[in-house]
A and B are shown apart, each in its own frame.
Chain A
Amino acid sequence: MSSDAFAEPVVVPDQRTSKATLDELRKTRQRRRLGDTDWYDIAYRVYLFGLVGLTLVVWLSDAVDGAIGDGIDSSDLLTRGPSIIGLLVVAAFALGVRSGADGGPVAIEIADIRHVLLAPISRRSVMLRPVAQRLRAAAFAIGLGGAVLGQLVATEVEGSRTAWAAACGAFGAIVGVTFVATAVIAHTLRVPRWLATVLAAGALGWQGAVAWGIWNHETSGAARIAPGNLAGRLALWGVSARPIDAIAIVIALAMTAGALFLGGRLRVEALARRGELVSQLRFAATVQDLRTVVQLRRQLRSEVLRTRPWGQRRNPIRPVPVRSTRGRPAALAAIDDWSPSASAVWRRDARSLRRLPAARFFRIALLAAIGGVGAALTISASPLFGLLLLGALFFVGLESLEPLSQEIDRPDLTDALPIERGWIYAHHLVASSVLLALVALIGAAAAVLVEPELGAIAFAVAVPMVWAAAMGPVVVTMLDAPRTPSPTTLLGTPRDSESSLVPPEFAGFSSALRTLLPVVISAVGTVPVYVARFAGDAASVARSLVALALFTAVVVVWVRRRDPWGTKVRAFMEEGRAAA
């Protein structure tokens, strides 16, 4: 090889040729992927998905029967519905503008960034396909959900099933397109985070205020105008169609065109950051690892813990002077004397929680408020709102267990301590439970705001409910903890050695069970709300609270004693095997 090999002049290649090369590259890769696809596996998944989906729809149809409020007629729905349903499209806008400010919503392979986006080829032609795919996927997935929901609504309200499915499907597609297109446009326009937050809060506040006013028949005329009303009204075309609502479709199409046009201006830096995380995210989602999905989504938003904890003035890098114990609260000194180890864990956890960013605290508070609203509506309107309550409680728990999560993710550090793992894990729950208690009060306040007559009962049940519901996320987190070492091997049994013995027919079900079990555990936390709805007397609610406390205690004891119990169970199994 000689220097002549590097003498070829640098030229900007013809863009049509480059585009043709790119298309060829993508087609080759697509062919290869299709060739490598296990069609039997795909067919099995489709079959399972279809079966579960169909069962769910049939079950929901029965559950919905008579459950969507009492006495809602079509005219009331057309009056109050658009502004409330429009909240969804405004929420999509709010989430989209925030996602765009955080570098979303598109993610491409990191290899594409290195080899294609850094090559001399028009970025618009490169990004057109990923942006279009993202738009299409969001419109289809949410549109499908909308169509299914439309079918269910049709059983309760006048209008044909087809019309309801089509209208709600179109509305869902608009919600999906609004999210993705807003995010792409915000990203390419470099909307700063603070402005994104202001826009999101402003839009949600506007729509929310109008919806509230209409719900209470307090507004009229121009005060009824809100950004999501047209799209919301479109979802009700199952009852009656109004041509002007089609403007929502035109706006969605215009936003789609804008997103496709601006797609080439997505920032390479953001794409590179997301490219690496999204592949992990997809894998975590594939194996239904909910905790990892939540953690990676935080990373996608560039959400990092604060260097300096809230309320700490001094920079921790500076040498910390030895503090005198004089003047310290007697309670803290007593804890130190009682158990220095417990005190160390609790202090470490308090600092960990004080490092949570403001956005995380806001999210926790918002979820708590949503949970409170969900609880109030479960009691006063429909038991289906329990799903909203359950979702909010589950994610509140997941967001609040930072100390335990940090410990579980670093098993080597835990095992390096001369303390039993379970003891450390159990003590990590203390600080989080304090945070959860405060959060529960926000939820109770939100519930009382929606249903003032709930009053004292909301505050009475809130804390035990939130603690019990947090046991689901505790179990999710604990499932990632190292397994109990085998009593017969020095190094312990590799984690996969057992699961590899599971027949493939059961692997999918055990994986689904792993995902569903924590949600079911969290669902226990919602029991007092259902007791309040169906029994209604204070004594029954009090009994349910006692049951919740016992349930919570059992899970905490399991966290504490998991290792010794696991060892005993394994020893028992091995004895049985040896005897056989």
Chain B
Amino acid sequence: MSNSRSNRPQSQRTRARGAGESPSTSSTKASGTNASAPAAKTNTPGHVAESRRPAGPPAAIETVGLAKRYGDAPALWPIDLRIGIGERISLIGHNGSGKTTLMRMLVGMLEPSEGTATIAGHPIGSIEARSAVSYLADQPVFYDDLTVWEHLEYIARLHGTDEWEQQAVDLVDMVGLLDRVDDLPTTFSRGLKQKAALTMAFVRPFDVMLIDEPFVGLDRLGKEALLELLALAHGAGATLVVATHELSSVKESSRLIALSSGEVTYDGDPSEADLAALTEGVRQDHD
């Protein structure tokens, strides 16, 4: 799989090789400075950027003091993360912990209140970052007047893909929507909408995929298809970040990040984590 991505830019090829990059080298632990919100809260963005910028090869996702406030209410305390190419991350946390806020900032839908972030070495929201990142939101959104097939066509073409048709056929077949491609997705049930949104997230090329609550509304076939798609994309060297409450899926990931009240409370090996405690907001230090 890595070979097939060999025509990517140099930084990408380097990272395809580093798919098994250890979390311990690509991120700081929750007990360290990066996830320790109280220490970071006093830093100005410029200071954060200078003092915390980790050395090493470009990461798939890198945040430096990334924070979000709504008025005076903090949604996400300053967070430093470094996610290597090809990592498969599970992002967990209770409702309101900041998972969606973090994802929306990374994808460029929300503006950080402070701090910076890059996707594949490019500032979030830039045209290069938008090329590299695919986002599957928790609430699927479609045009009222376009069919599933037309959505797939335009999304693929807007991302510069000419030969998208076979991929689109494979995707809709996989999720069981082959008979419904000429229907309007706005008329679908919640589960079918989620399946349609899945195909749209995967029909275009990407280096990084951010997925927010992907299992909501999916039936068994849908869940299996999604897990298979994630495995295939991961196998092709893509970086995956999956925000979920489905703790059973966490074992598939190579690294677990837990958020609680906008702070990182765990960052490390999923097998060593007490998942139930983490979703309740209990901080755990990881060696």
> Which residues from chain A sit less than 8 Å from chain B, CB to CB?
1-14, 17-18, 21-22, 25, 28-29, 32-33, 36, 109-111, 113-116, 118-122, 267-269, 272
Of A4, A113, A119, A272, the residue contacting B155 (CB under 8 A) is A119
Which residues from 1 to 28 on chain B have a C-beta closer than 8 Å to any C-beta of chain A?
Answer: 1, 4-5, 7-8, 12
Q: Is the CB of B161 within 8 A of A115?
A: no
Complex: chain A residue closest to B167, CB-CB: A5
17 A-B residue pairs with Cβ-Cβ distance under 8 Å, sorted by A, are A1-B171, A3-B233, A3-B235, A4-B1, A7-B4, A7-B5, A8-B161, A9-B205, A10-B131, A17-B157, A28-B150, A115-B141, A118-B109, A119-B155, A120-B127, A120-B159, A268-B125
Q: Is the CB of A9 within 8 A of B5?
A: yes
**Given A10-B8, A109-B143: A118 and B233 interface contact (C-beta under 8 Å):** no
**Given A11-B131, A118-B130, A268-B125: A6 and B202 interface contact (C-beta under 8 Å):** yes
B: number of interface residues (CB 8 Å): 52
Q: Is the CB of A29 within 8 A of B143?
A: yes
Tell yes or no: B111 within 8 A of A by CB: yes
Collect the chain A residues with CB atoms within 8 Å of residue B125's CB: 268
Collect the chain A residues with CB atoms within 8 Å of residue B159's CB: 13, 119-120
Tell yes or no: B107 within 8 A of A by CB: yes
Collect the chain A residues with CB atoms within 8 Å of residue B132's CB: 10
Q: Is the CB of A2 within 8 A of B146?
A: no
Collect the chain A residues with CB atoms within 8 Å of residue B145's CB: 29, 32-33, 36
Q: How far is the CA of A269 from the CA of B237 in the complex (A)?
A: 30
Of B131, B150, B174, the residue contacting A1 (CB under 8 A) is B174
**Given A5-B170, A17-B160, A33-B145: A118 and B232 interface contact (C-beta under 8 Å):** no
Q: Is the CB of B142 within 8 A of A111?
A: yes
Q: Mark B121-161, 1 if CB is under 8 A from A, else 0.
A: 00001011011100101000111111000110011011111
Q: Is the CB of A3 within 8 A of B232?
A: yes
Q: Is the CB of B131 within 8 A of A114?
A: no
Collect the chain A residues with CB atoms within 8 Å of residue B141's CB: 110-111, 113-115
Complex: chain A residue closest to B229, CB-CB: A1
Q: How far is the CA of A113 from the CA of B143 in the complex (A)?
A: 11
Collect the chain A residues with CB atoms within 8 Å of residue B127's CB: 12, 120-122
Q: How far is the CA of A232 from the CA of B79 in the complex (A)?
A: 53
Q: How far is the CA of A1 from the CA of B226 in the complex (A)?
A: 13
Tell yes or no: B40 within 8 A of A by CB: no
Q: Is the CB of B108 within 8 A of A118?
A: yes
Q: How far is the CA of A17 from the CA of B161 in the complex (A)?
A: 11
Q: Is the CB of A272 within 8 A of B109?
A: yes
- Distance (whole angstroms) from the CB of B158 to the closest CB of chain A: 4
Collect the chain A residues with CB atoms within 8 Å of residue B7's CB: 9
Complex: chain B residue closest to A275, CB-CB: B141
Q: Is the CB of A6 within 8 A of B109?
A: no
Collect the chain A residues with CB atoms within 8 Å of residue B167's CB: 5
Q: Is the CB of B1 within 8 A of A3?
A: yes
Which residues from 140 to 193 on chain B have a C-beta closer than 8 Å to any C-beta of chain A?
Answer: 141-146, 150-151, 154-155, 157-161, 167, 170-171, 174
Q: Mark B190-216, 1 if CB is under 8 A from A, else 0.
A: 000000000010100111000000000
Q: Is the CB of B158 within 8 A of A18?
A: yes
